[in-house]
A and B are shown apart, each in its own frame.
Chain A
Amino acid sequence: MMCDNCKERESKINFTTVEHDTKVTLHLCEQCAQQKGIETGEAILKSPLGGFIQAMGKGGTNVLPTPADGLRCAACGSTLKDFRESGRLGCAQCYESFSTHLKDLLRRLHGSSQHVGERYAPPGAAGATDPRLQLLELKEQLRRAVENENFELAAELRDRIRVLE
């Protein structure tokens, strides 16, 4: 069926209103519907938030669980379903575990999934080891040793920490 308004394009939307107690149905194409200020499903999808809402499964048409929902992050155990429900990821590894889904979402949220800001060099990457860093690492090792009740190692680490301090 052709669009009732422009009579050029194929109608895609049936827009029903009540005027003077009579039901009027217009068959409109997407462009004409938008001109009349009617938000179409596709228009909602095109807005970043619409995409976000749909991707989160909290609106749009995609409310039924998809097979991917069961996808689990090996590092922290959270699933894609957990993310859809809470909007929060479980750990840094989740970005790898759910990367295909996230890329899509990131593009819709930010218009891009490629970071172009500052690059991060992890501690010690620059080569020369910062003595402060060494100390912090020893303290972390000490905590783990105590946790695992490896007191021999803990005593050794404590001594090395004392020297450095």
Chain B
Amino acid sequence: MIDLSLLPDGGIGWLDASGPKGSIVLSTRIRLARNLEGYVFSQRAKDADRTAVLTRVEEASAASDLLKGAATIRLDRLERIERQLLHERHLVSKELAGLDREARPRPGAALVVQGTVGVMVNEEDHLRLHGMRSGFALEEAYADLEALDADLGRLLPFAFHPEFGYLTSCPTNAGTGLRASVLIHLPGLVLTKEVGKVLQGLTQVGLTFRGLYGEGSEVVGNFFQLSNQTTLGKSEDELLDHLGKIVRQVIEYEEQAREVLLRTAPDEVADKTWRAYGLLKYARKLTFEETMNLLSGVRLGVGLNLIPGLSVYTLNKLLIFTQPAHLAALEGRQTGDPELPTARATYVRRVLETEAV
């Protein structure tokens, strides 16, 4: 089993709810796509090419200031449940972890991780540098990442073109190679049925939204990942400013929606959140999806100060550890175990009993 103590904070320091707007925004994640000059892109690469890329990245990491002593996790040497666990922590993509049906991680697929930053190696691009922060913190996340990019860029030859910028396997990422995503909880907009309009508006201003686990994932528990769509023709700062401005507006809409709910239907809102809390506290069987939806209801209640004595940190912890691979690992079971819903309910009850005041 993978030793998660290798990861500082288990790689989930960003979920401690300490960041700005922590009750609405879970996390901010930014990634930069980079490729090495002189090696074919991952799609065309042979196993030997991938191994060579990984060796170069490992050597450069060891020599770098920011990744010295970082943990390197070889995805191609892990069991499926361990790879899924890293994916549930938002540390690796589904593609890198080889989690699609019948898929296996490619040889040389690895994660190098240190504190708030990390590098996925041999994903769609040779390197996907990422920075993660708790709450709504674009500037801080980018500052971490910019430093890492400069650090590694001095030691590895990145593929760069004067006109097209950083060259990426898919032209949708060329230029800055930057994709910033804000994981945001929008129950107010969902309940007031305004969310469709807001999401539609996003696409008109060059942004996009995805589900809880990023590209190709479904929206569960009213969590949305908002991110920039284009990566070329604007500077990194312009891309981040624009996303930041729009996210602030979405946060404002969400806050307004919550006020409307409190003003026009206070009993219904209170009933909804307390019911969700009641079910989490007393249910004997919980599926993952139901848990996510109930946690969303309770999170809304905590945000509105309706449920006292429960911290956002506890809710975040439940969010992470009730995911299939986390729960299975915690209980020493397999992800397909039919007893998992029972184990999940027991785990949730235990956490709520010990952490709710």
> Which A residues have a C-beta under 8 Å from some C-beta of B?
52, 76, 78, 86-92, 95-96, 102, 105-106, 109-118, 120-123, 130, 132-133, 135-136, 139-140, 143
Contacts and interface: CB of A to CB of B under 8 A. Distances in A.
B166 interface: yes
B154 A114 contact: no
14 contacts: A76-B41, A89-B41, A90-B43, A91-B40, A91-B44, A92-B161, A106-B174, A109-B232, A110-B232, A110-B233, A115-B174, A115-B232, A116-B234, A116-B235
Given A110-B175, A132-B155, A117 B40 contact: no
Interface in B229-271: 230-236, 239
Interface stretch (B52-60, B132-140, B310-318): B52-60
Given A112-B233, A115-B176, A123 B41 contact: no
B165 interface: yes
Contacts of B209: none
Given A90-B41, A110-B230, A133-B155, A115 B175 contact: yes
Most chain B C-beta atoms within 10 Å of own C-beta, residue among A52, A76, A78, A117: A117
A106 B155 contact: no
Most chain A C-beta atoms within 10 Å of own C-beta, residue among B37, B40, B231, B235: B40
A95 B63 contact: no
Interface of B: 35, 37, 39-41, 43-44, 52, 55-56, 59-60, 63-64, 124, 153-167, 169-172, 174-176, 178, 230-236, 239
B68 to A, nearest CB: 11
Most chain B C-beta atoms within 10 Å of own C-beta, residue among A78, A87, A96, A120: A120
A52 B156 CA distance: 32
Given A88-B124, A140-B56, A118 B175 contact: no
Contact of A115 (B63, B157, B161, B169): B161
Given A91-B40, A92-B37, A116-B235, A135 B63 contact: yes
Nearest to A107: B233
A111 B41 contact: no
Contacts of A96: 161
B167 A95 contact: yes
A139 B55 CA distance: 10
A140 B155 CA distance: 12
A142 to B, nearest CB: 11
A116 B230 CA distance: 13
A109 B59 contact: no
Nearest to B39: A91
Contact of B233 (A87, A102, A105, A111): A111
Given A95-B161, A110-B233, A133-B154, A87 B170 contact: yes
A110 B41 CA distance: 21
Contacts of B235: 116-118
Contact of B236 (A52, A110, A118): A118
A95 B168 CA distance: 9
B305 to A, nearest CB: 42
A89 B40 CA distance: 9
A115 B165 contact: yes
Q: Which are the 5 A-B pairs with shortest beta-carbon distances?
A: A112-B233, A115-B165, A92-B159, A110-B232, A120-B160
Given A92-B159, A109-B171, A114-B163, A120 B153 contact: yes
A130 B155 CA distance: 9
Contacts of B163: 113-115
Contacts of B159: 92
B170 A117 contact: no
Nearest to A132: B63
Nearest to A133: B155
A155 B350 CA distance: 61
A144 B239 CA distance: 40
B40 A90 contact: yes
B233 A116 contact: yes
Given A76-B44, A115-B163, A136 B60 contact: yes
Contacts of B55: 143
Contacts of A89: 41, 43, 167, 169-171
B124 A130 contact: no
Contact of A78 (B44, B162, B165, B232): B44
Given A95-B174, A113-B164, A136-B63, 12 more contacts: A78-B44, A88-B169, A89-B170, A91-B39, A115-B161, A116-B233, A117-B235, A117-B239, A136-B56, A136-B155, A136-B156, A143-B55
A119 to B, nearest CB: 8
A135 to B, nearest CB: 7
B44 A92 contact: no
Nearest to A77: B44
A102 B35 CA distance: 18
A159 to B, nearest CB: 18
A123 B154 contact: yes
